[in-house]
Amino acid sequence: MEKDKFKILIVGNGAAASALAKKISQYEYVEKIFSTGGISDCMEIIDIREDDLTGLLMFALENKIHLTIPISPKALEADIVSFFQSNGQNIFGPSKESCNFIFNNISCKKFLYKLRASVAKFGMYNKLSQIGDYLKNSAYPVLLKSAQNTASEDEKMVCTTYKSAMDFADKLFLKGEIDVLIEDFAMGHNFTIYFVTDGYSAIPLNIVGNYKFLDKNGGIYTDGCACYCPDYKISNTIIDEVKKIVTNILNCLDNDGKPYTGILGINCVLTKNENFLIQDIKPFLQNHDAGAVLNLCEDDLIKIFTSCINGFFSDEYDHIKTNDCSSVSVCVYSDSDNSEISGLEDIEDVDFINIKKDNEKYYSQIGMNFTLTKTAMTLSRAKKYLSEAIEDIKFAGMKYRKDIYDKIEQ
């Protein structure tokens, strides 16, 4: 592999695409990295939609792409993997058939419940009156969210009263939601274990401790707004239990004739006495934690992905090497548009999500703008570096999880 110069196509954008490009650009044999979106010196942006399969295939053929890595839900739902495979292209990711259940919160809950995985009590309804009846008998707080797992952050909410829950459900229906998932909100420590799989065997990539609320006292409930890696709170016993669930997932999909190849992120909450509940599943690293996870990976990801594609993964790997460092990452949000951001130009380990760049100047957009990740030999030093770096960034409307530095204890 090292003798050939590789060209890689990442189908997706945001911090996950940027972090992945940075990681694989370190391999000497990688000549060029293309991506369908994002801002990074490590990749060339191409103007092709993530779900334009014909356009992407023509680009891959014309540019002699060695490996395509789809991380975009749009691309996966359009079944880019099956389309590329049928045209003789190397592509690392799950087919639409194998990952379709992940993109719907209700389908995912049903699937996990069928496998007897531990999940919070839940209900799914498509009428406001049914939701009202369910909520009258619920223990609060409850989590309400739209059916789509890729929904925006204003389409999920932790509600502490019947009125706030009904008001939010009414808001979802007004936005056009057909189905709403309600589940008991599980209090505890949030974590994600990422696995690499060829559809038959699965090996942990790393474990991430997640922060879900944008403010320590509550506020917006996110898929993740900050993290640290590895998560020292998660024991080997829990890792083994989660791996058993992943094995059951893979076996079930394989028995249905739709084996899952790619990365699986199992989002969990640690409750009491080493118990945990599974919240949902992600088909790739998430924006808030991609940099933190990839900074710790020592094995060659391109070789791993290729091994999965070629069916040699279980023979060639029994674990994925990581270094002894720790990473901390935080997502920076904005509640205003077009504010000039100062301090970014001198900081490394920034991965952009939604931001404007004009004449070497950066401008904010409403919502999540970028992630900032720091890695060091100890968790406390990584926190210190992150604290120092974020103090240099200034712009109107800047928001981030400010207590991350003192909340993590080693």
Q: Superfamily for 189-316?
A: ATP-grasp fold, B domain (3.30.470.20)
- Condensed to tens digits (0 to 9), the pLDDT of residues 339-390 reads 999 998 878 889 998 888 888 899 999 999 999 999 999 999 999 999 999 9
Q: What 3-state DSSP class applies to 198? A: coil
Q: Which residues contact 174 (CB under 8 A, 6 or more apart)?
A: none
N-term to C-term CA, the chain: 40
DSSP string, 350-366: EEESS-EEETTEEE--S
Which of these, 373, 328, 330, lies nearest to 230 by C-alpha position? 328
Work out the pLDDT band at 406, boundaries 50, 70, 90: low
Work out the pLDDT band at 151, boundaries 50, 70, 90: low
286 vs 54, 61, 119, 294, CA distance in Å? 26, 28, 21, 11
Neighbours of 40 (CB within 10 A): 22
CA distance linking residue 393 with residue 400, whole number of Å? 11
CB of 187 within 8 A of CB of 235?
no
Position 405 scores a pLDDT of 64
Number of helical H runs and strand E runs in the chain: 14, 20
CA distance linking residue 12 with residue 82, whole number of Å? 17
CB of 209 within 8 A of CB of 190?
yes
Can you tell me the mean pLDDT for 64-86?
Answer: 97
pLDDT higher at 364 or 273 = 364
- What is the assigned CATH class of domain 121-184? alpha beta
Q: Is the pLDDT of residue 218 over 50?
A: yes
Can you tell me the mean pLDDT for 88-106?
Answer: 95
Q: Is the pLDDT of residue 59 over 50?
A: yes
pLDDT higher at 360 or 183 = 183
pTM here is 0.94
Position 163 scores a pLDDT of 95
Position 410 scores a pLDDT of 39
Position 409 scores a pLDDT of 45
Which of these, 383, 345, 338, 48, lies nearest to 57 by C-alpha position? 48
**Strand order across the beta sheet in which 340-341 lies:** 340-341, 361-363, 356-358
- What is the assigned CATH class of domain 6-91? alpha beta
Q: CA angle, 220 as apex, 265 and 396 as ends, to 5°?
A: 110
- Condensed to tens digits (0 to 9), the pLDDT of residues 187-205 reads 999 999 999 999 999 999 9
Q: What is the CATH number of domain 326-407?
A: 3.90.600.10
Percent of the chain residues topping a pLDDT of 90: 81
Neighbours of 43 (CB within 10 A): 24
Work out the pLDDT band at 243, boundaries 50, 70, 90: very high
Q: Is the pLDDT of residue 272 over 90?
A: no
Domain boundaries, the chain: 6-91, 121-184, 189-316, 326-407
- Condensed to tens digits (0 to 9), the pLDDT of residues 289-343 reads 999 999 999 999 999 999 999 999 999 999 999 999 999 999 999 998 999 999 9
Q: What values do phi and psi take at 193, rounded to 5?
A: -110, 120
Can you tell me the mean pLDDT for 6-15?
Answer: 96
Which of these, 388, 334, 372, 373, lies nearest to 356 by C-alpha position? 334
| Segment (H or E) for 222 | strand 218-229
Q: Which residue has the tokens 């190849």?
A: 261
**β pairing state of 6-11 and 30-35:** parallel
Position 152 scores a pLDDT of 67
